[in-house]
Amino acid sequence: MIGVVVLGSTGSVGENTLDVLARNPDRFRLVALGANRSVAKLAQQIRQWRPAYAALADVNAARELQQLLGNSVPETRLLAGADALSEIAALPEADSVMAAIVGAAGLRSTLAAARAGKRLLLANKESLVMSGPLLMDAVRVGGATLLPIDSEHNAIFQCLPPQARVGEAPPGVRRVLLTASGGPFREASRDALAAVTPEAACAHPNWVMVRKISVDSATLMNKGLELIEACFLFGLRPEQVEIVVHPQSIVHSLVEYTDGSLLAQLGSPDMRTPIAHALGWPDRIASGVEFLDLIRTGRLDFQAPDSDRFRCLALAQAAARAGGLQPVVLNAANEVAVQAFLERRLNFLEIAAVIEAVITKTTGAGAIGSLDDVLAADGEARRLAHERLNGHHAARGQAPRGVHA
């Protein structure tokens, strides 16, 4: 039995992971669950799975959980605080750790799993974007096995030669093609883009996602972050990662070899496929995903992205080329700008303008030496982004308000 820890169990990737585990009860044993403050959902998961440990980062929520459960699940030990997540990520009884906490909050526990030499199932892309060199070092030093969960990176991993090693340039590979659905505004004009609402940006045509990731998908920043992720995971230069818009989200990505072969991974757009692939690797296990009917699918389209209308992609490509702390700055400025867009304080096109202004102010951000460098650059970029937002409203002579109202 493979012992599994699910960090971020109450989120979308976490719940999909539990769904795949439930389909393979003779293979996996759930050791621990971890989340932030979703008390009711975690309580329900604890009652169903009865793991040895469960942790909430938020101490007050953990107290509430303790009261809610009382002594009803005596086999589960409850832990509280952000450090508890790192603790369960390194448990000796855990073989595989699903890192599915969203955002920078997932950094420490992901690093802890890598240092402890676990099989690390990496959904938390922020830990690669923000601290790629540190995470890849921790994987090497800790002897961990890193398996990508993001559907595109999992697809690339599936198309690589068996002797490829994560973090090293794969033999015989010329480049990879990262597919992008193009989001809901693929065909929209610049004027139309300036007027889109958060509701429209969050209505993704193929994937069900949380609001921040939906906006990233609509601006193509998500693809830019994935490009950075791909460079670290597969030892590629940014020029070796081509973004291809593929509206049907059936081809999840492709690998091009020096002999002219192009290998692709196809499947229904459902996160349970990459999750099942990484959980079972190198075996194949049931995922519950609907099998693909190519005849019903009919056609697969591909086109180039328009980086004039979708500036965020060009900014991410530039940050990938600059390296060091630039991806940290990009990610932090983007988070602030997207939040402002969701709060109707910024229009859709202004997201890229805020990020660009922050990057311009921090050009020359140095190399990554430690997690402290990362957190300092992240904090500075957030401060500059807020400053820029406040200046933006002052220039308009208005208090922050709903620009789309």
Binding residues vs ligand NDP (CB under 6 A): 8-14, 35-38, 57, 85, 100-102, 105, 123-126, 150, 207, 209-210, 213, 271
Q: With contact defined as beta carbons under 8 Å apart, do 98 and 21 qualify?
A: no
DSSP assignment, residue 82?
Answer: H
Q: How far apart are CA 348 and CA 215, in angstroms?
A: 9
Show the tokens assigned to 345.
């304080």
Judged by CB, which is closer to ligand NDP: 89, or 357? 89
Q: How far is the CB of 393 from ligand NDP (least distance, A)?
A: 28
Of the pair 34, 142, the CB lying nearest ligand NDP is at 34
- Cβ proximity to ligand NDP: between 102 and 403 the closer is 102
Residues linked to residue 243 through DSSP beta bridges, in sequence order:
178
Q: Closest Cα partner for 123 from 89, 149, 151?
A: 149
How many other CB atoms sit within 10 Å of the CB of residue 166? Answer: 22
Least distance (Å) from ligand NDP to the CB of residue 103? 6
Distance CA 320, CA 165 (A): 21
| Angle at 255 (CA atoms; ends 251, 260), nearest 5 degrees | 115
The number of residues making up the chain comes to 405
Q: Which is nearer to ligand NDP, 143 or 379 (CB)?
A: 379
Q: Quote the least distance from Cβ 100 to ligand NDP, whole Å.
A: 5
Q: Which is nearer to ligand NDP, 37 or 404 (CB)?
A: 37
HSE value, Cβ hemisphere, 13 Å, CA-based, for 216: 24
- Closest CB to ligand NDP among residues 251, 403: 251
Distance in Å, CB of 225 to ligand NDP, minimum: 8
CB of 260 to ligand NDP, least distance (A): 30
When the beta carbons of 135 and 357 are compared against ligand NDP, the nearer one is 135
- Distance CA(330)–CA(95), nearest Å, equals 33
Write down the least CB distance from residue 250 to ligand NDP, Å.
Answer: 16
Q: Cβ distance 132 to 232 under 8 Å?
A: yes
**Least distance CB 174 / ligand NDP (angstroms):** 26
To the nearest whole angstrom, how small is the minimum distance from the Cβ of residue 33 to ligand NDP?
Answer: 9
Quick one: 55 or 357, whose CB is closer to ligand NDP?
55
- In the numeric block, which tokens belong to residue 70? 């009382």
Nearest to 122 by CA among 251, 4, 264, 275: 275
Would you tell me how many other CB atoms lie within 10 Å of the CB of residue 266?
A: 15
Which residue sits closest to ligand NDP, CB atoms considered? 11
Terminal CA-CA length for the chain: 55
